[in-house]
Chain A
């Protein structure tokens, strides 16, 4: 290729030309990303016009005209020109803790904080040691102790009165934790040499993945009482937790299977060549590596389980969503449903955003370790 002259075709030598626009710089970047082409500029103007119309109105409604006190008359006087955050001020305890006895709300609050703190603690790869399991056992025991009471001078509160955020979180945690071993078993079963085991595992996974969660919850609330013998009879919360676990196990199995498939064949062959038995190879060589590969996927299923728990409201368990509907049952405040939904949606959104950001961070950290 012939080297083109550095100067333009008709630039006489010696004449000073204006310097070319410098690449970079915030203004140039903004210009390129907002007015890069005529169509882009048109889109920008259109969107800016839309935002200019919407933003003042939204802010007016959300903040400037809103009532923040739990004052019903003031909220009525707004006539919907502003948000009534008074609903949240009035009902936030009902939304967060459901029908838990009012005077004992410190217990679900403390129990939730313990679980959230344990979750946050388990987030860092440095915490992934054997001791973490013990920490979790202690945290779960503390949760149940605080919520149920009946000892240490705490009054007893049956699980039928639990509700709100602690219920959402404990359902998520239990479904995730209990479905992991089941999922590992199913994933190994699906890849087993034994045709019967393979068929049973595959059938279970595909069957459960083919039906909506609601049907599984129906099975849990309508069929478990019929199927389980009296000695194994669970309360409504236990049944729903079991149903969610069985549902989640099928999805977990697919996550684990992805990890098993991603592992090079040579790992298993090397383990066999070293004389390890099938179980030793699985326990010491294959599973630890396969599970490490799919840890970001675990966080994603944690996220979807967290969102899925909102379905239990259909079978009359008052999780965060159900407790909000409980709060909206008050005919006085019912008209301020929009504020209530925004409040609860904000809670879900914040938790999920934190989890998905964490998942991305973790993926980067783990894969950078692998590249080294």
Chain B
């Protein structure tokens, strides 16, 4: 058989023709969009290119591990936003995983009350939009908590108020010491301060994702056949051994892949920060678009950021998955 003959009568010939047509269509569409975009950008006198990243941004960012002032560049603003996104996502994942696991196991409990409560937790959080939950958390923190001058004392030196949460901050000034927050007439000063926006986003993401993780964990545990536990008990394993050596390894195999996508969802959902004004990368991009008008570049930047973050998370979780996955002969 002659391979690759350019004719409609052969299968490979038809495939080649279809693909050529598709390529042509894509190129044409791309060209049409690009030329039109170039035209309308010129018409609105919007510059193009990533040159604006080096310019002075001129807006302020309230918080974050990357120090940032109005005199800094757009590039630094994006870096500060990315750091804020990573900070809330990482902390959210760390908190939502144990909470979700507990709720998921609670739904399997033999105790009717506990089961019902965990079920209600999952149903309510999964069936109300996250945006609504975030607005509600934010308003609850900024309206219902006491004023910053008379904060709630949660633990020694841990204060909660409309101004956010203040914690002791470990400092390395002349040996290890703790920088303690103090209550002053202007609110709580010093120590590690978490803003209401951060707290609302963290609380919303953690609780909402914990409900999804609970479902993943429940499905994973239910996927282990009953006989496995019965066989282990019949062999004389203790309950502890049963869970550690038999149930957990088999359940994890089912749990880890969907858990990965829940982590990715949490990271993506952290973009809802823009709704309550937490300066994550999307909020920064939103401000930058409104200021510089360079929407295309800013949107490309956020997409690149999310794709990279997702890829890294997926890579890490796949490595972990390889450890727990079934080893077949």
Using a CB–CB distance below 8 Å, which chain A residues touch chain B? 30, 32-34, 36-37, 40, 43-44, 47-48, 193-197, 200, 207, 210-215, 218-219, 222-223, 225-229, 307-308, 310-311, 313-314, 321, 325, 335, 337-338, 341, 344-345, 348-349, 352-353, 356
Contacts and interface: CB of A to CB of B under 8 A. Distances in A.
A352 B211 CA distance: 15
Interface string B102-132: 0000000111111001000001101111111
A40 B110 contact: yes
B50 interface: no
Nearest to A346: B128
Interface residues of B, number: 52
Contact of B135 (A193, A225, A227, A341): A341
Interface in B284-298: 285-286, 289, 295-296
Given A194-B19, A211-B307, A218-B286, A348 B129 contact: yes
Q: Identify whether the interface residues of B are mostly helix, strand, loop, or mixed.
A: helix
Nearest to B136: A341
B171 interface: no
B244 interface: no
B303 to A, nearest CB: 5
A43 B113 contact: yes
6 contacts: A210-B311, A215-B299, A227-B37, A229-B36, A325-B135, A352-B128
Interface stretch (B76-84, B217-225, B264-272): B264-272
A43 B271 CA distance: 38
Given A227-B36, A341-B136, A348-B127, A44 B113 contact: yes
Given A36-B111, A47-B113, 15 more contacts: A30-B112, A40-B109, A43-B111, A194-B22, A212-B306, A215-B282, A223-B295, A227-B36, A227-B37, A310-B132, A314-B274, A321-B132, A337-B139, A341-B136, A353-B123
B302 interface: yes
A197 B132 contact: no
Contacts of A307: 127-130
A contact patch SS: helix
B114 A311 contact: no
B326 interface: no
Contacts of A325: 135
B117 A47 contact: yes
- Return the 4 tightest CB-CB contacts between A and B, nearest first: A352-B127, A310-B129, A222-B295, A33-B112
B40 interface: yes
Given A321-B131, A345-B128, A353-B123, A33 B307 contact: no
Interface in B131-147: 131-132, 135-136, 139-140, 143
Contact of A314 (B124, B143, B275): B275
Interface of B: 15, 18-19, 22-23, 26, 32-33, 36-37, 40-41, 109-114, 117, 123-124, 126-132, 135-136, 139-140, 143, 268-269, 271-272, 274-275, 282, 285-286, 289, 295-296, 299, 302-303, 306-307, 310-311
A347 to B, nearest CB: 10
A226 B40 contact: yes
Contact of B302 (A30, A211, A225, A338): A211
B111 A349 contact: no
B22 A349 contact: no
Nearest to B310: A210
A302 to B, nearest CB: 13
A338 B141 CA distance: 12
